[in-house]
């Protein structure tokens, strides 16, 4: 049997020549924020179950939910909700066959990222 000729080549793009692209970043952020929303959902469900259990247990869970950690989780989940909303609108635009060229996709990606941060700050300022 003939021996296969092995070619030495990298298995993935070399980190010095490979650059991150905005559409790739937004795709990864969509997945991360989707999973991060589960943390906020679990905290809210835990808080509701504690309210239905007993006053002392509710006070314990409420102290966690209203601490800096709870504020961080809820602020992060608020950003994730806005980001998911804007990314969904972007995908509806893509589904219409528009914005699929690289410059437009990059602009839409930055619009999702920056827009979600701005909307999060506005929402936090309006709620307080």
Supply 64's token pair.
């966690």
Rounded to whole angstroms, how far apart are CA atoms 54 and 49? 9
- pTM, two decimals, is 0.80
Burial group, residue 109, by CB count within 10 angstroms (0-12, 13-18, 19+): buried
* Domain, as residue range, for 33: 22-127
pLDDT in tens, the chain (128 residues): 667 777 776 666 666 666 788 988 999 999 999 888 988 899 999 999 999 999 999 999 999 999 999 999 899 999 999 999 999 999 999 999 999 999 999 999 999 999 999 999 999 999 98
pLDDT at position 103 is 93
- Domain assignment present for 108: yes
Question: 113 lies in a domain?
Answer: yes
- Residue 7 covered by a domain: no
Number of domains in the chain: 1
- The CATH code of the domain that includes 64 is 1.20.1300.10
> Residue 9 burial by CB count (10 A; 0-12/13-18/19+): exposed, middle or buried?
exposed
Q: Is residue 10 part of a domain?
A: no
């Amino acid at each position: 049997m003939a021996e296969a000729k092995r070619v030495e080549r990298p298995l993935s793009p070399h980190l010095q020549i490979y650059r991150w692209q905005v559409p790739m970043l937004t795709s990864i952020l969509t997945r991360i924020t989707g999973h991060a929303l589960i943390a906020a959902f679990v905290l809210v469900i835990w808080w509701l179950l504690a309210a239905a259990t007993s006053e002392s247990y509710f006070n314990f869970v409420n102290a966690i939910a209203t601490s800096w950690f709870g504020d961080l989780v809820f602020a992060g989940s608020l950003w994730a909700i806005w980001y998911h909303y804007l990314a969904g609108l972007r995908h509806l635009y893509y589904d219409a066959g528009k914005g699929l060229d690289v410059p437009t996709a990059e602009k839409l990606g930055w619009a999702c990222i920056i827009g979600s941060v701005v909307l999060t700050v506005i929402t936090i300022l309006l709620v307080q």
